[in-house]
Chains A and B, each alone.
Chain A
Amino acid sequence: MALFNGRNGKRHAEPDAPVIAMRGVRKVYDTGAVQVEALKGIDLTVGAGDFVAIVGPSGSGKSTLLNLIGCLDTPSGGSYRLLGEEVEGLGPDRLAEIRNRRVGFVFQSFNLLPQITAWENVELPLLFKGVPRRERQERVEQLFAQVGLSDRMRHRPTELSGGQMQRVAIARALACDPTLVLADEPTGNLDSASGKDVLHLFEELGEQGRTMLVITHDMAVAARTRRVVRIADGEIVEDRAVAA
């Protein structure tokens, strides 16, 4: 429902379109001396409610792909439609709005802002969206309850454990109720116990029918998703459903 709240109805999502529709997407990093072709023509369709694991060797282009999907970067070629909207050519503020409302990001290194409290970190996307103060308050409390950290809301990120920080980051990713949750090795920096907690949260989200893409090296993690996309050298080499 939140998808239709925008002022510019025409450019907004088409209800029947897949969440992600990529056709021949390429990404070339121009580092001056050399040009690195990180993605060489990706075709990928992800429907609503899908829970996808992206796997592949280091340097194969997984993070690059996730960044493009989350509109953190722009493709060098091909077409990318997010909820039916062609991303190419959108202005920076419109892209910011898409990241704010449709995409929730979880990073390997948490990326919490160190100078503000956990609460304020989770509140940020709601501030950017322009949610009124009282509503923000309710929503943030609810999110902390959801990730089981109601007793740590007023702490600074530096006062939290890795697992706790990642749970705060997940709460922050969910703040604006995004259609799409993207996670780049969310358990990569965690010990196995905290990793399990985080994984459990993702499973819950998957069961709630949220569309999710998770990059992982851990095949045990991949096994808990519904679909595995394998990337090698900038191309999708395998795309299979996980047996239930």
Chain B
Amino acid sequence: MLRLGLVSHLFRRTARTQGKRMAMTVAAIAWGTLAIVLLLSFGEGLKRNFSRGSRGMGEGIVVVWPGSTSKSFAGFPQGRSLRFRPEDLDLVRASVAELESASAEMIRWGNNVSRGRRTLSKTIKGVEPTYGDLRNQIPQAGGRFLNEIDEREKRRVAFLGNRTKDELFGSADAVGETVLVNQVPFTVIGVMTRKIQMGNYSGMDQDHVLIPLSTFRTLYGRRYVSDLVVRARTPELTPVLKWRLYEVLGARYRFDPEDRRTLQIWDTVETQRVTRNMALGIEIFLGLIGALTLLIGGIGVANIMYAVVRHRTREIGVQMALGARRSYVLGPLVVESLAITALGGAIGIGAGVALVSALAWAQTQTSSEALELLGAPTFSFGVAVTVVVLLGAIGFLAGYFPSRRAVAIQPAAALRYE
């Protein structure tokens, strides 16, 4: 029953009679839409960056440092410091089914790392091959991470953080070259791909030099690990994994598994969840600001529709006298309100997408760290759906409420209206 021709005719007439007001309202809707598109796109970019950054150190990992007992247990006094050996991980691997992957980590600070005449002070880490996957050490093309053979044969090979490589080699190729680590020559086998890392416990990965754990132990005579990096089979199993670590290590070193001070645990799954929620919170907050801006435009549309309905009261009365159901009267008015909103919305979305693309492009042209952390604004599908749904709701309500008034009165009263 709703004839598009009639609706478009009515729309044109409204544009004529409400010209200036309509132009301003369309502008207000466009402005509100632009605001919400930009804010949501920035929120989305920020969220993605947060989530990428919080995964930069590794996804779903738990870092475990030895602590000291706070309770006496099995005849041992309290206050005993614990130290773990790399071999303890074999026990954990054998007895904890929830464990997916693990690596021991030994850290030595302030090492001289040099190439040619350039000498740097760097952190050296001895790690197992599994560390690469656990800690998100993705080799750049042409290189690789430490492997089992390196470990077994105690090879003198090194995997460099990308900044270490830049400082030593500049833009030259590093893989296959030799660097001196505390005067001992190492062959560079790979360089880490640049990544956004938001958390760290021993400096940023880009500054490190990784060598096989076995090599590290031989060269520096270490017996105890700095920490253990472990990951559960699924993120949901992480709490169980942590509990099992207390049990297994507690049985070995004779401490009370209930004694939380014996292990210091950084659960990045938990951290990531918090980060994710924080980013989502920011996005929702930005979206709400945008929605409020858009709402002001919506009030403009409702105002127009009130005027239109008042203007057409007599015609509405005629239609009702001829037997129009309420929906027939309401329909075209709501469609008209939707059309005004859609027009403004389309302009706003167009401008917003253009701006977001321009900004995203500008970001690829600079290397400012602040801009990088802000993240590229992203007009995602979710943002698009949110904006369209919001516009639809505003257009509908701005049309529905004014017209509902018109059909609520008796046709005789509408016909008398001047």
Contacts and interface: CB of A to CB of B under 8 A. Distances in A.
A142 B122 CA distance: 98
Interface stretch (A51-59, A78-86, A109-117, A213-221): A109-117
Q: 10 tightest CB-CB pairs across the interface, nearest first?
A: A100-B323, A73-B412, A72-B412, A67-B412, A72-B411, A99-B323, A128-B323, A125-B322, A111-B318, A73-B410
Contact of A100 (B13, B322, B407, B413): B322
Interface string A113-142: 101100010001101111000000000000
B320 interface: yes
Contact of A72 (B10, B328, B410): B410
B378 to A, nearest CB: 45
Nearest to B315: A113
Nearest to B413: A73
B321 A72 contact: yes
B9 interface: yes
Contacts of A70: 321
Nearest to A124: B322
19 contacts: A72-B415, A73-B410, A73-B411, A74-B410, A92-B407, A93-B325, A93-B326, A97-B325, A100-B323, A111-B314, A111-B318, A112-B318, A113-B319, A115-B10, A125-B323, A127-B1, A128-B1, A128-B324, A130-B1
Given A93-B325, A111-B415, 17 more contacts: A72-B320, A72-B321, A73-B412, A74-B410, A96-B323, A96-B326, A99-B411, A101-B323, A113-B318, A115-B9, A115-B10, A116-B6, A116-B9, A124-B322, A128-B319, A128-B324, A128-B328
Contact of A105 (B314, B315, B322, B326): B322
A183 interface: no
A43 B13 CA distance: 45
A155 to B, nearest CB: 16
Interface string B401-412: 000000100111
A105 B414 CA distance: 15
B312 to A, nearest CB: 10
Interface of B: 1, 3, 6, 9-10, 13, 314-315, 318-326, 328, 407, 410-413, 415
B415 A107 contact: yes
A176 interface: yes
A26 interface: no
A74 B321 CA distance: 13
Contacts of B315: 113
Query: SS class of chain A's interface: helix, strand, loop or mixed?
Result: helix
A167 interface: no
Contacts of A62: none
A125 to B, nearest CB: 5
Q: Which secondary structure characterizes the binding site on chain B?
A: helix
Contacts of A97: 323, 325
Contacts of B1: 127-128, 130
Most buried by A among B3, B321, B328, B413: B321
A97 B323 CA distance: 6
Contact of B321 (A105, A130, A176): A105
Contacts of B410: 72-74
Contacts of A129: 323
B350 to A, nearest CB: 31
A227 interface: no
A224 interface: no
A130 B320 CA distance: 15
Contact of B323 (A113, A120, A176): A176
B317 to A, nearest CB: 8
A74 B412 CA distance: 9
Contacts of A115: 9-10, 13
A115 B8 CA distance: 11
A107 B321 CA distance: 11
Contact of A124 (B319, B407, B412, B415): B319
Nearest to B318: A111
Given A67-B412, A72-B410, A72-B415, A99 B318 contact: no
Contact of A128 (B10, B325, B407, B413): B325
A130 B316 CA distance: 18
Contacts of A112: 318
Contacts of A72: 320-321, 410-412, 415
A113 B325 CA distance: 17
A124 to B, nearest CB: 5
Contacts of A120: 6
A92 B319 contact: no
Contacts of A124: 319, 322, 324
A92 B324 CA distance: 10
Given A115-B9, A128-B1, A172 B322 contact: yes
